[in-house]
Amino acid sequence: MSPSTKFRWRQAFTSLLLLAGATGAVWVVRDILRQDPARGLSNRNERPVTLTMTNSVFRSYGADGRLVAEATVDSIGVTKDRMRVELAGVKQGQFLRPGEAPVGFTAASAVYYPPVETLEGQGAMRVRGKGFDLTSETGKYDGRQGTMDIRTPVKGMFGPGRIEAKTIRFNTKTNIGVAEKLTYRGKLQDPDVGATRRDWTIQAERTDLRGRVYIHSRARATDGEVIVRADRIEQNTETQVITCIGNVRYWGPDANVQAGRVTIFRRERRAIFGTNVQMLVRPKNSPPAKEEPIPPLAPVVPDEIAKNRPAPSADPVAQDPVRDTGNLRQYPITIRAEQIETTYARGQRRAKATGNPQARQQISPTSWRLAFAPAADFDVEADWLILRSTGQGRQVRLINSVGDDVMAREIQLSTREGDDRMSAQDLTGTIAIDEEDLPPRSTGGGTGGGTGGGTGPSLRGPIGTRL
Cα Rg of the chain, angstroms: 38
Whether the Cβ atoms of residue 401 and residue 366 lie closer than 8 Å to each other:
yes
Quick one: pLDDT at residue 347?
Answer: 85
Quick one: pLDDT at residue 238?
Answer: 83
The secondary structure of 18-54, three-state, reads HHHHHHCHHHHHHHHHHCCCCCCCCCCCCCCEEEEEE
Q: Per-residue pLDDT for 248 more than 60? A: yes
pLDDT, tens only, 335-389: 999 999 988 888 888 899 999 899 998 888 888 899 999 999 999 888 899 999 9
Quick one: pLDDT at residue 199?
Answer: 86
Cα–Cα distance for residue pair 53/88, rounded to 1 Å:
11
User: What's the half-sphere exposure (Cβ side, CA atoms, 13 Å) at 255?
Assistant: 17
Confidence of residue 14 (pLDDT cuts 50, 70, 90): very low
Where along the chain do its domains lie?
Answer: 295-442+457-467
Q: Per-residue pLDDT for 13 more than 80? A: no
Quick one: pLDDT at residue 153?
Answer: 97
Q: Per-residue pLDDT for 457 more than 80? A: no
Quick one: pLDDT at residue 304?
Answer: 59
Name the residue among 157, 156, 205, 161 with its Cα closest to residue 180: 205
Stretch 97-103: mean pLDDT: 90
How distant, in Å, are the alpha carbons of 299, 307, 308 from that of 304?
A: 14, 6, 7
Stretch 398-417: mean pLDDT: 90
In this predicted model, which residue has the larger pLDDT, 37 or 108?
108
CB-count burial class (<10 Å; 0-12, 13-18, 19+) for 29: buried
Mean pLDDT of the chain: 80
Among left, alpha and beta (phi > 0; psi -120 to 50; other), residue 449 is left
Stretch 296-324: mean pLDDT: 62
Quick one: pLDDT at residue 20?
Answer: 42
Q: Percent of the chain, pLDDT > 70?
A: 75
Highest average pLDDT, of 16-20, 85-89, 390-394, comes from 85-89
Strands (E), 62-144: 67-79, 85-95, 103-113, 118-129, 132-142
Cα–Cα distance for residue pair 331/360, rounded to 1 Å:
10
* Amino acid at site 298: A
Spell out the residues 6+ positions from residue 278 whose beta carbon is closer than 8 angstroms to its own: 257, 258, 259, 294, 296, 297, 334, 335, 336
What is the topology classification, in CATH, of domain 295-442+457-467?
Answer: lipopolysaccharide transport protein A fold (2.60.450)
In this predicted model, which residue has the larger pLDDT, 17 or 155?
155
Q: Per-residue pLDDT for 127 more than 90? A: yes
Stretch 241-264: mean pLDDT: 92
Cα–Cα distance for residue pair 256/359, rounded to 1 Å:
14
* Candidate from 69-78, 208-217, 416-425 with smallest mean pLDDT: 416-425
Q: How many residues does the chain have?
A: 467
Q: Are strands 227-236 and 241-251 parallel, antiparallel or unpaired?
A: antiparallel
Whether the Cβ atoms of residue 240 and residue 212 lie closer than 8 Å to each other:
no
Cα–Cα distance for residue pair 78/458, rounded to 1 Å:
105
Quick one: pLDDT at residue 308?
Answer: 55
Q: Give the three-state DSSP class for 329.
A: helix
* Candidate from 113-117, 189-193, 382-386 with smallest mean pLDDT: 189-193
pLDDT, tens only, 220-233: 999 888 899 999 99
Quick one: pLDDT at residue 448?
Answer: 46
pTM of the full structure: 0.74
Stretch 235-251: mean pLDDT: 90
